[in-house]
Chains A and B, each alone.
Chain A
């Protein structure tokens, strides 16, 4: 029996109502318990029983279900966990990431079926199909990473790997030829090169954001206290009468979605009920929802009534959104311009359609911030993302220890980083370091 724990997304990658992430292997329940807290704390995890709870996504949580299948009564014949969560890349990706940080490994193509077969869960006839599954899945993975995108990604990663070979050859030549008068591979120099690689991979990861934007659009939450003109603003942006606009405080109670396309990017607007304390029960639910929408949004438009002075509620909203990508929109400038904030603002009149185009441009810039829109490389493949994120983790750990560790350990870390990236390019080290050593350095007796 195979004993390491593997994980993979079982539902198709991309937009879907719910996503299922499956994990299989000995003791995977222990790992799952670190990732999941039942809402009802007294509930025991019983095999085959669905439990509602919070799935730990690192910085945030998602509400979802967890089911535990105890070996051998599972698809793979091993202990298996299924998480059912909200669909879309972000949530499922985060679950997988969390599991990987706990020592779980991303499943190889067809590995769940392979394990099911190896554990005797399939008849011999079915097993013939397993080979096809392995081939089909590795084929489709190949396809997902083929074409232009693959070309650019591979080139970029190969470029990074080439730098790593340089670093490694400098370290290795020092280790294997201690008596030669070659330039010593200083840790400062290695550290500098590692920094450059870090930047390159971070830039690649930024295209994840871009990839998401291109695929799903950018989610924009419009936030502000009651009656600052959020619904009017939404209507102005959409150009239709979508939300109900009244003068009575608290009339918008549902999160209304409307979308427009601007310069090829889809803006999904999420209208929110006014965030304020109230005794109205129905409205309270709306407020909770608003806070959740805030969490799910990529960009926040914080609307402030420019005709009035900032009050405590505005200040609270400023505080609430301070960590988000946000644009402060000062509305009602047609009435009176009163407010002056330290942060940059966009001054509009939703009612009179003043500066609405300017706001759209601002949203667009915010959305593609840090992404090179002309860069055709967009990361959307889950495995690629995962590899790069682990690479970033490895770089961080190298940087933490490089000045304390001896050169043999630094060499090992660098090699592991190379091999990690090799999961994208398929490049293995083989003779490359040795070839580089002999092409760069004059050695020998």
Chain B
């Protein structure tokens, strides 16, 4: 019988990172997939990144994951969002060639040592004494494993809906998975039903672009991966257009045929990804909605119509799309559809992404109730690392909320849970100023090195960068010629009542950048602009960063106090009943996690602290 250290079920964005991490950490790994042609498939937008998601990708990269590198290799257009709104919320977003991206990742997997790939359907998770020991495939073959990572995405008992038409299948005509969902259910997992959707793809040559606004990429900006040396070229243009009252009338007229309103769709859909019929109903006073046109690949014949997702019948879709200015003669290649699928409650998971009920069974990606390629990949990476660490008796990797968006994502999932597909947003991160796109490597490379996924090459590049940062930090503390400083102040219309003596003080001024200072004083040689920009941010945000640091230190104290997951909170006299029940059902791993559970008050945490110290002393 075949036996593996780690079996990863599913080859989407979560599964791929998970399998690569496990294999790269020297575990004998098997990746199963329903279809090799669906590896790393971008089933919705042909784009990676976006607000908060861009940060996730760079975090994955800093930890030694693959997504950032693969995205950079297949970019059609790269933009930095939010440039005018502060560094903390600036995020990269790229249009990528979805076919090239898939082929690229497939190639990476196929070339990976320690990794087997197998096209098959997994129908059962094999468990004995609450511990996983393998999987069973549809061929009735049993494969043994020390750990199993479930990354099945939207394929569990899924069905697609286009108006009155519905079919049991996965996204984009791929087959779906039967059996696994009921296997999970019989293991005691609570199964939820979520829903999402995608717009139509249309033929490029059938669009009248004169009715749309062009959107170009940015030049000379950082990339997702800290290893990418060559600035990607912007070869694609995107377009912005609008729906109109005519479109909305068509939708209103056909509402009784909309599955969303006829009761045909029962799954819970995400509020941030509504269908066009949802937008028209909920925001009736809006006379137009934005749509963006994005090419699916480098050939540019097939166009993704962002903002126009729908589950209306085919004929209504046709009428709707054609009502848009510039779409008069549009040809729909693939219809918009909604998809319903099974997922588990993420509250059943530990912060390591291991199941609370079945040992050595991990979950990552959309099966945990998230949405988005980046969210999935981030979880996949962590689940892969932790599956490996579990086998090798290493401490699990749990990133804190102040360390990474990945930490925020997983903590939200396992502590708060989610009742709709969860999307990462910068507003979910309370330490947003620290979790920037530009410092992901500074935050996480050392951690990735400790895990074992940061190789010598990446580590060397990182250390060189640190050296350069230190150098810049030294230079900006040196005294400057006060006459020239004053000249610069006057030129930049800054107050001269106090004359700064160093570059550092100059940069603190609102209207003066590190580049202005460099132009005037020629301080930095052979230092790239990303590094200068990073130092500038640290200087300009210093006060705020320190304030966040104080809050983090307060939080960390509780985060460092470990709780036994078999502890019976009923034993703690003085805890309120609600707190006892909540803590007993959650079994938090740290006092910090306990404090974030709704229904547990600060007084309860105080009581718990005293109790814990007391029992430690009694021993």
Q: Please list the residues of chain A having a beta carbon within 8 angstroms of any beta carbon in chain B.
A: 2, 4, 108-111, 114, 117-118, 124, 127-128, 130-132, 134-135, 138, 168, 172, 174-181, 404-409, 411-412, 415, 430-431, 433-434, 437-438, 442-445
Contact = CB atoms under 8 A, between A and B. Distances in A.
Contacts of A114: 606, 609-610
Nearest to A419: B430
Nearest to B280: A442
A68 B428 CA distance: 44
Contact of A178 (B81, B548, B603, B611): B81
A412 B433 contact: yes
Contacts, number: 129
Contacts of A130: 610
Interface in B282-318: 282-283, 286, 289-290, 292, 306-307, 309
A2 B286 CA distance: 55
A442 B606 contact: no
Contact of A138 (B307, B557, B603, B611): B603
A347 B87 CA distance: 65
Contacts of A4: 554
A179 B81 contact: yes
Interface residues of B, number: 56
A179 B85 contact: no
B602 interface: yes
14 contacts: A4-B554, A109-B603, A124-B614, A130-B610, A134-B603, A168-B427, A175-B89, A176-B427, A407-B85, A412-B544, A433-B427, A438-B271, A442-B286, A445-B199
Given A135-B574, A135-B603, A412-B433, A118 B86 contact: no
A135 B598 CA distance: 19
Sorted from nearest, which 5 A-B pairs have the closest CB atoms? A406-B86, A408-B86, A131-B574, A438-B271, A408-B88
B82 A438 contact: no
A124 B618 contact: yes
A114 B606 CA distance: 8
B272 interface: yes
A250 to B, nearest CB: 53
B587 interface: no
A415 B270 CA distance: 25
Greatest chain B CB density within 10 A among A131, A138, A409, A437 is at A131
Nearest to A410: B86
A52 to B, nearest CB: 35
A134 to B, nearest CB: 5
Given A408-B433, A412-B432, A444-B307, A178 B51 contact: yes
B484 interface: no
B461 to A, nearest CB: 28
B42 to A, nearest CB: 13
Interface string B600-619: 01110011011101100110
A324 B306 CA distance: 66
Given A408-B86, A445-B306, A434 B614 contact: no
Nearest to A438: B271
B613 A442 contact: no
B602 A108 contact: yes
Contact of B574 (A109, A117, A132, A404): A132
A175 B610 contact: no
B611 A175 contact: no
Nearest to B47: A445
A234 B503 CA distance: 67
B179 interface: no
Contacts of B51: 175-178
A131 B274 CA distance: 49
A180 B606 CA distance: 45
A175 B309 contact: no
